[in-house]
Amino acid sequence: MSPATVSQLATRYGVQASEEEVAARYRYDDFLGFIEAFKWATSFLRTPDDYALIARGLAEQLLAQNVIYAEATISAGVMLWRKQDIEKNITAINQAARQYESRGLHLRWIPDVVRQFGGEDAIEVARRCAGLQSEGVVAFGMGGDELALPASDYRPAFDIARDAGLHIVVHAGEIGGPSSVIEAIDVLGAERIGHGIAVARDPALIERLAASRIPLEVCPTSNLRTGALAGQIGRPTATMADHPIAKLVAAGVNVTISTDDPAMFEADLISEYVHAASLGLAPKQLAQIAEASFAAAFLPAREKNSLLETFHAALPTSGLI
């Protein structure tokens, strides 16, 4: 949600918040600060029309970056917490996004639960999302504070989602340690790991992920801004130079590059690739990471291959090869 969009939504509900004021709320340097800003900004998402508005904003931002496919997280757990109609909201989001397919952008959705809200809420969200594949839902995820409650509390919810044919994504190893990643895989059946930077601390886990090819969705700017990176390296502060993405790539881990919440971290996919380059990844490696993101997508092989053909056709003019 960009500052302009939040300002527009706030006005709808009688709250005056300029773009500058919203941008100021987006300046924080720890995970708690991010959570508080997220709660405030999303408090102005109240109807399906509000969600359609931010879906259109997202689509325009992605098109401006030459993105042709994305799987975006939807905070369905927050919708439930606010007693909203999850199904109607996701339908509105998907209908708004489908208008952009004629312009070359295809979007799919990963509704997720909030870890600190508990297992019972997660079960309810899973039940509501289990039948939404026709609205572009491809997976079920979990974000929030990974230290709040054990992964085992959420196994029933993930079992419901998996039985309904949804793929599984879990944020782990962001502020938690390597054991959090192991639990996400072994207990919840994660097929992709959100963030996962704690993997760099555990040589055995690096070897396991390199062999299994389970992808990590690495978000460098988010890791820096939330203080997660500083926590992983055991220092009060960190810089982008401390990020382990190059170490993970060199070890053969299946790394993809993502943005987390781009507006709230003042980042986009292009800037994240620039950061990766600044950390020593060569153009060819960046091209391979981009290619790996298509391979990691939760799509049938035919659709993946079609997207890869489009990507490969544009690659010679990208400067990456």
Domain boundaries, the chain: 203-321
Q: How confident is the model over 157-169, as a mean pLDDT?
A: 98
Query: Is residue 28 classed as helix, strand or coil in its secondary structure?
Result: coil
Active site residue 135: no
Q: How confident is the model over 142-168, as a mean pLDDT?
A: 96
E-strand stretches of 13-68: none
The pLDDT of residue 208 = 98
231-258 residue pLDDT tens: 999 999 999 999 999 999 999 999 999 9
Q: The whole model's pTM is what?
A: 0.94
The pLDDT of residue 131 = 94
Q: How confident is the model over 220-237, as a mean pLDDT?
A: 95
Q: How confident is the model over 43-66, as a mean pLDDT?
A: 95
Query: Is residue 315 very low, low, confident or very high in pLDDT (cuts 50, 70, 90)?
Result: confident
Catalytic, out of 71, 135, 174, 272: 174
The answer to whether residue 319 scores a pLDDT higher than 70 is: no
Helices (H), the chain: 3-12, 19-25, 31-42, 48-64, 76-81, 86-98, 119-129, 155-163, 178-186, 203-212, 220-225, 228-233, 245-250, 269-278, 283-295, 301-314
Mean per-residue pLDDT of the chain: 95
